[in-house]
Amino acid sequence: MLTVILCDDDAKEREYLKKLVLGWSGGAGEKLSLHEFSSAEELLFSYPDCPPDILLLDIEMPGMNGVELAKTLRARSDFSQIIFITGYPDYIAEGYEVSALHYLLKPVGPQKLSEVLDRAAESLSRQQRAVVLKTAGATVRVPVEKILYAEAFSHIVSFVCADRSYEARLTMPEAKAALGEGFLQCHRSYLVSLKFVKAVGGKELVLDNDVRLPISRQLWKEVKTAYLKYYGVIEDDA
């Protein structure tokens, strides 16, 4: 499911764009979670814990404009696809600062919007795998490549990123299946992303941020071999 945010201070324009987006999702077979906001300030106040996949932002809005809003949001997420919607082409150069996917000039045509949304969905599918977690407060979509490790305790698994963690009611086998390739079980309570491991010792491994995770005796050889293979020190058939 794609999370799409639409921000425009014109209610009629929001309704028109909403119909176009929903029409695109039906034709493309994409499931959407669509959220609407009438100002940058309202969006920032209600910004979800997990960054949205696609942002459709009007530029000319009272208070904070769409470009300023995009700069704030880009600092929170490298993955969101930003699409500016404007009546004027004057802001195009500023879009490069936030890696905007596209500018659409009003009035927005259905075919043009569909083409841009197709590009956004394709880019997202290339960039990231994600896990969808039912946390205590909401259902969130967390990019797998942002997860450093997962820690299990009782019937809860905590997915730890650099800036925060997400807790969900899962078993360790379920977490391992959700994270997939690139994650290794180093202990019965821990799954770790190999790309964040900088050293493997006799009883623990060290992450890039100097967090230390235990290695069980039974898994040490497997962990060491996987680490060396991941960085090309030994071949896969070694």
Per-residue confidence (pLDDT) for residue 197, from 0 to 100: 92
Give the model's pLDDT for residue 49: 63
The CATH 2.40.50.1020 domain(s) of the chain lie at 133-230
Query: What pLDDT shows up at residue 127?
Result: 63
For residue 78, the model assigns a pLDDT of: 63
**Residue 61 CA to chain centroid, in angstroms?**
26
Higher pLDDT among residues 238 and 48, named by residue: 48
User: How many percent of the chain have pLDDT more than 90?
Assistant: 56
DSSP state letters, 160-184: EESS-EEEE---HHHHHHHH-TTEE
Spatial CB neighbours of 210, under 8 Å, sequence gap ≥ 6: none
How far apart are alpha carbons 223 and 27 in whole angstroms? 45
**Of 18 and 164, the one with more pLDDT:** 18
In this predicted model, which residue has the larger pLDDT, 87 or 161? 161
> Which among 224, 45, 50 has a CA at the least distance from the CA of 131?
50
Residue 156 Ramachandran class (φ > 0 left, ψ -120 to 50 alpha, else beta): beta
Predicted structure pTM score: 0.58
| pLDDT tens readout for residues 97-152 | 777 888 888 899 999 999 999 999 888 876 667 788 888 777 777 888 889 999 99
CATH architecture of 133-230: Beta Barrel (2.40)
Q: 80 — phi, psi (to 5°)?
A: -60, 135
**pLDDT tens per residue, range 32-86:** 999 999 999 999 998 766 678 899 999 999 999 999 999 888 877 667 899 999 8
Which residues of the chain are in CATH 3.40.50.2300 domains?
Answer: 2-127
Per-residue pLDDT at 15 exceeds 90:
yes
Alpha helices by DSSP H, listed for 85-194, are 92-95, 110-127, 172-179
At what angle are helices 11-28 and 110-127 packed, to 10 degrees? 60
Quote the CATH superfamily of domain 2-127: Response regulator (3.40.50.2300)
φ, ψ of residue 40 in degrees (nearest 5):
-65, -40
Mean pLDDT score across all residues of the chain: 87
